[in-house]
Structure 1
Amino acid sequence: MLACGVVLLALFAPALVFGARASDDIPWHFIWLQSYLDAVRHGELYPRWMPDAMAGMGSPAFYFYPPFATMFFALVDMIFLHQLPLAYVIAVSACAMGLASAAFFYSWARNFASVRVSALLGLAYAAAPYHLLTDYYNRGALGEYAAYVWVPLIFHAAHRYLVTAGVRWLALLAAAVTGLFFTHLLSAMIVGPVIAAYVLLALFGRQRRGNAGPGITVTLASMVAVALLAVGVAGLYFIPALTLFDAANTAALYARPIEATRLFARLSVHDNPVVTRYTLFAAIYLALTAYLLAEYLRARRRAAVAPAGLGTSGATVLMWTVVTALCGLFMWGKLGFVFEAPSPYRSLQFLSRLLIVVEFVLLTLVAVVFAVLPAPAERQRIASVLLLVFAGLLVYQALALFKKFEHMPIAVNEVALSPRVQYRITPPEYYPKGAPFASAVDQLLPQLAPHLDASEQAWIVDGSGRIETVAQSHGDFVLRVTAATAVSVAIRQFYFPGWVAQDQQGRRLPVTAATPFRFATVQVGAGTHTLRIAREPLPVEGWAKKLSSLSLALLLMVLGALGWAARRRASRAAPAMSPATLNRSR
């Protein structure tokens, strides 16, 4: 296990030495962490609006992007007493997430395999090329990267509950499900059907074997209730995100149709390197799955398979194989109806995201095969093949990382110094809806030039009047306006639902997006006015908070009731104590 930890830390050495560096999404995480820390300093633990983003013109990114990764970065920043540069805060956090994913997969694999095999599988999970090289080093997709932490924990908790009926495993299941939904909604959508299939298959298998414990109906009802309530707890995040989805520039998410991201097509190392790399990973995983299935079937024909336990039956082996095969077909672009409107999987964006499931399922299948094939010769043969492939993937990643960091200076972080991060320019999907903004930063900055470094926080856009005074604090504006005629007053914040305005008499005034750049705008009549323009929580935020609180309360009640029922069953099943034993116990 120590050796596995050393190898994993070696793979994270570039991150720990250089910090978080250039990749597709890393700039967003710099920006969001900066804005989140600013919000915390203003007393907000879960902000929705980022008033300092977009060069101080505001962004609704926290309405939509899951909060866990950013909050975890902030926690690490606090642990290090705010002394680390943000690039190293993100790198240390990512390393901690990688170690956690390895530990949790180890716990999951230990249900089937030995300590040594489980440790190697934990390392393989944390260092899997889509997980580490792609999601962290190349894409910087840290929400998706963090989702790897929760997946084995969900399966482990569900499995242990099916084995022991211990309520603590249900509590762990609830925590992991909530964590996944707070971390990456798309990963939850992908993993959900797989965990449901596994639980149903394991549950019916347990029933056939006549294992002790609650009946199938009670067990299934308990798990479904706990899982649904755990999802409800995460409603604090995803209900506003889904409800307000069309209020942002979310069409930018689908500028590239999902069909264009299919693998096993248009392969070229030079012209299409990303798809080619993902196809290589997928092909290796599919080939290994077929090999493991062949080894299992060969042993089964010779009756050299150990008696099936929970999670190690032939049906379970077949299920893991089918899941991998289906993911392969999906990534190939087959069965495309699954990703056509109105399917929620249309929002997946990239078919390569299914590699999240494939990497988990393949390594789980390895653990199961080692559990059911007791013959040393077969195990040795399988181990040799797997270690050879795994070593090849490690070398591939090491060479890719060497190429990435070979000429990179340690002292200068190009991401932190980039105009995108300096001006906190958010992804295009969070631009004001309907604004004629370019998605490329080098084109967007000239468009925003009149407002980038402007000291002007409010101005008259229509009518005759002037702004006497402006006071602004973290997106809260107080203006004094003198108008000769009716005027429209714009503030230096983009419009998004939630802006409210009030005059000196307490009257609420409508806030609209009346300018071409979609700045928040208020209309007032002739005269002198003192206006307060600020954001307030939307009704959907209140509903989500109530649903989340109610779900948490019900979840605790359900877990408490199940715990009480389990203790009652245990006391009834305990043998009556003899008088001598009773006297000794006293």
Structure 2
Amino acid sequence: MPDAMAGMGSPAFYFYPPLATMFFALVDAVFMHRLSVAHVIGVSAFLMGMASGVFFYWWARNFASVRVSAVLGLAFALAPYHLLTDYYNRGAIGEYAAYVWIPLIFHAAHRYLITARVRWLSLLAVAVTGLFFTHLLSAMIIGPVIAAYILLHLFGATGAPAGTRHAARSRLVMLALLAAVAALAVGTAAVYFLPALQLFDAANTAALFVRPIGGTRLFTGLSMSANPVVTRYTLFASIYLFVTVYLVAEYLRARRNATVATSCPGTSTAMVVMWTMVTALCGLFMWGKLGFVFEAPSPYRSLQFLSRLLIVVEFVVLTMVAVMFAALPSPVARKRMALMLLAVFAVLLAYQFSALFKKFQHQTLAQNEVAMSQRVQYRITPPEYYPKDAGFSARIDELLPQLALRLDASEQAWIVGGQGKVGSVSQNYGAFVVRVSSSDGGAVAIRQFYFPGWVAQDQDGRSLPVFAATSFKFATVQVPPGEHTVRIVRGEVPVEGFAKKVSAASLALLLLLLGTLAWQTQRQAATRNTLKQD
């Protein structure tokens, strides 16, 4: 992103997946660039929220009625961690957008397990690829849950999928196909995440771990005045755990009265136990128990804060509600659940409206305008995206004075070592052409932060070394004595070229696999029709 950081560049897309930003650009283009930045973000977020609600409705319809599923879809779109935290408080748009894909992944997998139709594998591939292009951490924490759901559905008490033989071989084939499609879908997103993983330590990633993840645990030291954020997350988690306990109690009561319905796939006792265990484990994790899961070298160390597990909890608890409405056919039990859950939903909505009212009541519309903030004005990225070992402050009011000398874009290159003079500088989409003269050689810095991949050549095509210099770690080129026209561009590092090949190969194999399965399905259908006619 050469335009970020007041035009000094940022490797943000190596750490933050690009799909949400691309969606903003699409919305901006659809409205012909007539909307302000704040309205582009608002319209995009509204569409994302609607999509998350619709997709959860689809998922809930596997178990519950239209009316119940519609309410649950609305509850998912307006879930407090999703809306209040991710959108309004943190501005974590990637995490906010991840809610779009999570119910779609479960819905596609569930429908394939039930029908064995190729179109659901295709939808699963799209959803998995979309999630990995949207938010890696959400993919990391929801992945084990979808894996457990598939395994339990295939080999648990739910029985064999409809339309297949009860032999273990057919289940293994379905599992292999699901695993292959998921792996190829992840591989399709390799063009993003492989460079991100390889180049992770090239930026200021130490800023991600300034506070130990154990220090973000919930249910301890509650005080709205001392730590309102932790208290808020603890409130959300406590309500969700209460709802889980209540739903389990209703289920056990129905089992004791022998009124549990198990005809709907995915509503067995084993499934109820799985959803309950997922919520309980998340509760223990957020409480700071089982902390080894989030310690190095575990990849979950990058979770940053334990409250992120509310992404899973909000999805699982609402899923349990849908499952209970399928498993408990008693009108009395359903009415009791509906009243309890509507009351909880109303409390959470009231809390969010109250928090937002307090947030905005003392600000004018112009002050609420996102585009008016200095962070957006200068396109300042979070501190983890600064160059490694650069001494920048994470606070915007302290950072801007640090950058004051370079916020003015009039000086694009300057001498930082040796004797010399910069004649002229031209820049086009992150590529610099610098005319420099030096009697004894020197170093010329450009107004772009250093990151692996910067390359430089003189007018004769000779490569020149590029390195990080100055306290701000600007990209700097060592030039020999004499007059030179130096071209400096951000080239492709080897891992980026390799990732492109992996993505292309994965997409090709995915299309080939899905195409072959679709062809086999059509051929089998044609054969059956021929036999019927004979």
Q: For 1:263-293, what per-residue CA distance to the aligned partner results, in whole angstroms no more than 9, with x for missing partners?
A: 0011001111111111011011101101111
Please list, as runs of the form range in 1=range in 2, the aligned pairs for 1:57-456 lying within 5 A after superposition: 57-205=8-156, 208-209=159-160, 211-213=162-164, 215-453=170-408, 455-456=410-411
1: CA distance between counterparts of 2:221 and 2:315?
27
**C-alpha contact 1:470 1:478 (8 A) present in aligned 2:** yes
Q: What is the Cα deviation at residue 131 of structure 1?
A: 1.0
Question: CA distance change for structure 1 residues 84 and 146 in 2, over 3 Å: closer, same or farther?
Answer: same
Give TM-score scaled by structure 1 length: 0.88
**Structure 1 residues 322-380: Cα deviation after superposition (integer angstroms, max 9, x where no partner):** 00000000000001010010000000001001001101100111111110111111111
AA paired with 1:234? Answer: A
Please give the alpha-carbon distance, in whole angstroms, between the structure 2 residues aligned to 1:571 and 1:290.
50
The 3 A distance-change label for structure 1 pair 52 and 373 is same
* Superposition deviation, residue 432 in structure 1: 1.2
Are 2:115 and 2:162, in contact at CA under 8 Å, matched by a contact in 1?
A: no
Name whichever of 268-277 and 199-208 sits farther off: 199-208
Partner-residue secondary structure (3-state), 1:576: helix
1:135–1:144 Cα contact (<8 Å) kept: yes
Deviation at 1:409, TM superposition (A): 1.8
Instruction: Give the superposition deviation at 1:412.
Output: 4.5
Q: Deviations over 1:524-574 (max 9, x none)?
A: 222111111111122211111111111000000110111122223333444
Superposed displacement of residue 261, structure 1: 0.5
Instruction: Compute the RMSD of aligned alpha carbons.
Output: 1.5
SS for the counterpart of 1:213 is coil
Query: What amino acid is the match of 1:173?
Result: L
Q: Are the counterparts in 2 of residues 311 and 368 from structure 1 also a CA contact under 8 Å?
A: yes
1:453 is displaced (CA, Å) by: 1.1
Q: 1:81-115 deviations in whole A, cap 9, x for unaligned?
A: 11110100100111111111111011000001111
The residue that corresponds to 1:31 in the other structure is none
Q: Which moved more, 1:286-295 or 1:510-519?
A: 510-519
Alpha-carbon distance in structure 2 between the residues aligned to 1:535 and 1:66: 19
Superposed CA offset, 1:38-81 (max 9, x none) = xxxxxxxxxxxx22222222111122211011011111111111
Identify the range of structure 1 (338-347 vs 506-515) with the bigger mean alpha-carbon deviation: 506-515
Q: CA shift at 1:448, angstroms?
A: 1.8
Runs of 4+ in 1 over 6 A off after TM superposition: none
Q: Compared with structure 1, are the counterparts of its residues 210 and 437 closer, same or farther at alpha carbon in structure 2 (3 Å cutoff)?
A: closer
Describe the superposition over 1:390-430 as per-residue Cα deviations: whole angstroms up to 9, x where unpaired.
11111111222222222332244453223222222211111
AA partner of residue 219 (structure 2): F
Does the Cα contact within 8 Å between 1:463 and 1:487 map onto a contact in 2? yes
Measured in 2, the distance between the counterparts of 1:577 and 1:231 equals: 41
Cα offset for 1:464? 1.8
| Cα distance, 1:209 vs structure 2 | 5.0
Give 1:548's match in structure 2, choosing from 491, 503, 506: 503
The equivalent of 2:452 in structure 1 is 497
Structure-1 separation of matches of 2:532 and 2:203: 68
Asked if 1 retains the 8 angstrom alpha-carbon contact of 2:36 and 2:371, the reply is: no
Cα offsets for 1:232-288 (capped at 9, x unmatched) = 001111111111000000110111111010000110011111111110110111011
Who is 2:477 aligned against? Answer: 522
Q: Deviations over 1:289-311 (max 9, x none)?
A: 01111110111111111134321
In structure 2, relative to structure 1, the CA distance for the partners of 1:292 and 1:463 (3 Å cut) is same
* Matched position secondary structure for 1:304: coil
Single out whichever of 389-398 and 315-324 deviates more from structure 2: 389-398
Residue in 2 aligned with 1:534?
A: 489
Tell me if the contact between 2:160 and 2:171 (Cα under 8 Å) persists in the aligned partners.
no
Q: Aligned with 1:522: secondary structure?
A: strand
Letter in structure 2 aligned against 1:71:
M
Other structure's SS at 2:371 match: coil
**Larger deviation: 70-79 or 394-403?**
394-403
Over 3 Å counting, the alpha-carbon distance change for 1:207 and 1:409 in structure 2 is closer
- Kindly indicate whether the alpha-carbon contact (under 8 Å) linking 2:366 and 2:372 is maintained by their aligned counterparts in 1: no
Report sequence identity in percent. Answer: 70
Contact 2:101 / 2:131 at 8 angstroms: preserved in 1?
yes
- Kept after mapping to 1: 8 A contact 2:154/2:161: no
Contact kept? 1:206, 1:310, Cα under 8 Å? no
Q: What is the Cα deviation at residue 576 of structure 1?
A: 2.8
Moved more, 408-417 or 338-347: 408-417
The question of whether the paired residues in 2 share the 8 Å contact of 1:205 and 1:310 is answered with no
**Contact 2:455 2:488 (C-alpha < 8 Å) held by counterparts:** yes
C-alpha distance in 1 between matches for 2:160 and 2:150: 15
Query: For 2:472 and 2:83, how far apart are their aligned partners in 1?
Result: 39
Which amino acid in 1 is paired with 2:94?
Answer: G
Q: Kindly indicate whether the alpha-carbon contact (under 8 Å) linking 2:264 and 2:326 is maintained by their aligned counterparts in 1.
A: no
CA distance in 1, matches of 2:111, 2:400: 54
Shift of the 234–399 alpha-carbon distance from structure 1 to 2, 3 Å rule, reads same
Are the counterparts in 2 of residues 207 and 216 from structure 1 also a CA contact under 8 Å? no
1:564 aligns with 2:519: yes
**Per-residue CA distance 1:147-189 (angstroms, 9 max, x = gap):** 0010000000000001111100000000000000000000000
Contact 2:94 2:135 survives alignment (8 Å) = yes
Match of 1:531, SS state, is: strand
Name the CA shift for 1:208/1:54 in 2 (closer, same or farther; >3 Å): closer
Query: Contact 2:157–2:270 at 8 Å: present in 1 too?
Result: no
Which consecutive unaligned segments of at least 5 residues does structure 1 have?
Answer: 1-49, 580-586
Q: Choose 50-59 or 244-253, whichever is displaced more.
A: 50-59
Match of 1:455, as an amino acid?
Answer: S
Q: Spell out, residue by residue over 1:485-526, the C-alpha distance to the aligned partner (whole angstroms, 9 max, x if none).
A: 121111111111111111111111110113222111111222
Q: How far apart are residue 578 of structure 1 and its match?
A: 4.5
The CA distance in 2 between the partners of 1:69 and 1:128, in whole Å, is 19
Q: What SS does the aligned partner of 2:376 have?
A: helix
**Would you say the 8 A contact 2:111–2:120 is kept in 1?**
yes
* 2:414 match: secondary structure: strand
Paired residues in the alignment total: 530
Partner of 2:431: 476
- Match of 1:380, as an amino acid? K
Residue 449 of structure 1 deviates from its aligned partner by: 1.9
SS in 2 for 1:208: coil
**Matches of 1:390 and 1:454 in 2, distance apart?**
50
